Structure 1
Amino acid sequence: MKRILAGLTLASCAALMTATPAQAAPVNPVKALKKQYVAGHGVRVSETSRTTMNGKNGQTRTTNGTLGFGKSGVVAADLRFRDNGGMAGGLMPSRSITVGKQTYVQGGIYSENLPEGKKWVRYADPSVIYTSQPLDVFDSKVLKALVSKAKSSKSGTYRGSLTFADVSKLYGEKIDKRLGKIKINYALDLNSKGLINSVRSEYTMDFGVLGSTTTTVSTRFTGWGAKITIKAPPSDQVADYSELGAETEVPQEIPNGSLNSLGRVEAPSAR
């Protein structure tokens, strides 16, 4: 604010101060998000993940559903998935419900040759809670980094890049060193209340003579604070993975496009 000249009267000073609007402090998105963590409420999510291989269209995966909050963050999810193209579609469920420390899935290979009357497979794995987005904006460390590391922040959209190594440190997890240098370019869009409208990420894995794969994930959030109830499927329709036996074709774990899964994947090498 400009200095007030000494000769101005007190009345003039008051008039100038009234006429000059104060600049509002930037909204802290981490604090804004934590205010949303109220049991029985949540947010709707929609996402599209696209992969191109050597410049050609590969797999497209869409995700739609709801996330339920508790005092500590996301504690439940009910999501539906659709895959087109690529080879991973058969390994992905068509629906996933996460409640507490359990995840229930159905569809595709997860619904084949189940015991009579069973429609869901239960995993003791809450980490597969939602989507293919490698940038978990519900992790306060990640959200803070997306804002602080941004190279530009015009009109509430923060753009920048982080490496896989950077993000794995934020998660407190290890990742394959050969993947650590890969950059994730991102765009985080916030509304006037500091809540997340969307987050977009893009990264390319270059495997040399085997070519390169680029993945773009666009995730949108709407209906912040909506009343949401997410329940586990009826118990008589659920089979624990441990009950399926050694001969089952149901996968031992649920694959996804998150950083956690990518961290367990070794980049292929030319033979």
Structure 2
Amino acid sequence: MKRHIAGLACAAMTVLSVPALASTATAQTSDPISALRGQFKTGLGVKTVDTTKVRGLAGNAVVAKRTGVFQFGTSGIRASDHTAQLRIKPSDLGLNGETTTSDDDQLTKLFTGMTKPEQVVRIKNATYVSGGMFGEFLPVDKTWFRFDNTVGVLGAMSQFVNVAEPSTLKTLLGRATVKQAGTYAGKITFSELYKVSPWFRASIGGPLTSKDAKTSMSWKLYLGADKLAKRLTTSYPAGAKDAITVDTSYTGWGSKVTVAAPPADQVAKLTELEFDGKIEPPFTILNTIPN
């Protein structure tokens, strides 16, 4: 009889423990940070699509689109591969196909590059860029150049906020003023993002000015039933009358992703970009363009 009672007690404890375990598992997956960290497995990742619009006196206009992937390792983002393109045509920049051997030829190359896709591969701290503005100035035997601490020229016109970074996601959720049914929303300053996000620091390509540090960005994040990001929208002012809005979708969480560095013999150094010395390099010109 004692053995029988002991057996029933053990069975009862087993049954009672099942809901407790299930409850614990549910609690873990209901936390967006834990859900994100659960994706950090070598060779897996997520796909993203960014659409950038400028809102101004002429209404909303799509100005750029970027597609790509983030590849994870066991501790977070290991690599990324994104291709972005401005929604402009050569004719929009006054290009007529004619070139010269003067400064005009250099500017023509610069503007021609603006109409072409720019691919940016980042692996840990190394960044490789192909196409776009820089592509027009590469040596004839190179198709890439290395330019660290950046996400490319068009990265500055794409999504600054990376919710695949736990530190960034945690900061956003901690500042959310709207929390309901998988939807979070709020505001964050560029200064706050700069402190917590390596992606943001690479996107702006340098230190914040005191003015930019105060810029406030509105954001809205939509999570799926798995508590992983499905969509993120961000908006911030650009000048006195315009605003930039970036809409990002996330698909294929947990899919197999491979990001590889380009062949070493195809990679040029920044100093190998071919300028005639009569005008500033494109990355210098960009820094002088008023916002």
> What TM-score do you get using the length of structure 2 for normalisation?
0.68
CA shift, 1:84, in A, is: 1.3
2:243 equivalent in structure 1: 214
Of 106, 109, 112, which aligns to 2:136?
Answer: 112
Q: Matched residue of 2:36: which SS?
A: helix
Distance 1:93 1:111 in 2: 9
Does the 8 Å contact 1:241/1:252 carry over to 2?
Answer: no
Tell me how far apart the structure 1 counterparts of residues 132 and 290 of structure 2 sit (CA, whole Å). 27
CA-atom RMSD in angstroms = 3.5
Contact kept in structure 1, 2:219 and 2:233, CA below 8 Å: yes
Structure 2 matches for 1:53-132, cutoff 5 A? 53-57=56-60, 60-85=63-88, 90=114, 94-123=118-147, 125-128=148-151, 131=155, 132=158
- 1:193 is aligned to 2:226: yes
Partner of 1:30: 33
Distance 2:191 2:217 in 1: 10
CA gap 1:38/1:265 in 2 versus in 1, 3 angstroms: farther
Quote the Cα distance in structure 1 between the aligned partners of 2:226 and 2:72: 18
**Contact 1:176–1:265 (CA<8 Å) still a contact in 2?**
no
Number of residue pairs matched by the alignment: 236
CA distance in 2, matches of 1:165, 1:139: 17
Which position in structure 2 is the counterpart of 1:141? 167
Q: Which has the higher helix share?
A: 2
1:62-87 deviations in whole A, cap 9, x for unaligned?
Answer: 11121111122212112111211498
Unaligned runs of 5+ in 1: 1-17, 256-263
Q: Distance in 2 between the 1:91 and 1:254 partners?
A: 17
Distance 1:266 1:252 in 2: 10
In the TM superposition, what whole-angstrom CA distance separates every residue of 1:79-125 from its partner, at most 9, and x where no partner exists? 111211498972985212222332222223322243232111222x1
Q: Give the conservation status (yes or no) of the 8 Å contact 2:138–2:272.
A: no
How far 1:213 moved relative to its partner?
A: 2.0
1:36 to partner: Cα distance: 1.0
User: Shift in Å at residue 188 of structure 1?
Assistant: 0.7
Q: Which runs of 5+ in 2 are unaligned?
A: 1-18, 94-110, 202-206
Percent identity over paired residues = 31
- The offset of 1:55, in angstroms, is 4.5
Counterpart AA for 1:104: Y
* Alpha-carbon distance between aligned partners in 2 of 1:265 and 1:189, rounded to the nearest angstrom: 36
Structure-1-length-normalised TM-score: 0.72
Q: What is the deviation of 1:266?
A: 10
* SS of aligned partner of 1:242: helix
Taking the aligned partners of 2:116 and 2:254, their CA distance within structure 1 comes to 29
CA offset at residue 181 of structure 1?
Answer: 3.5
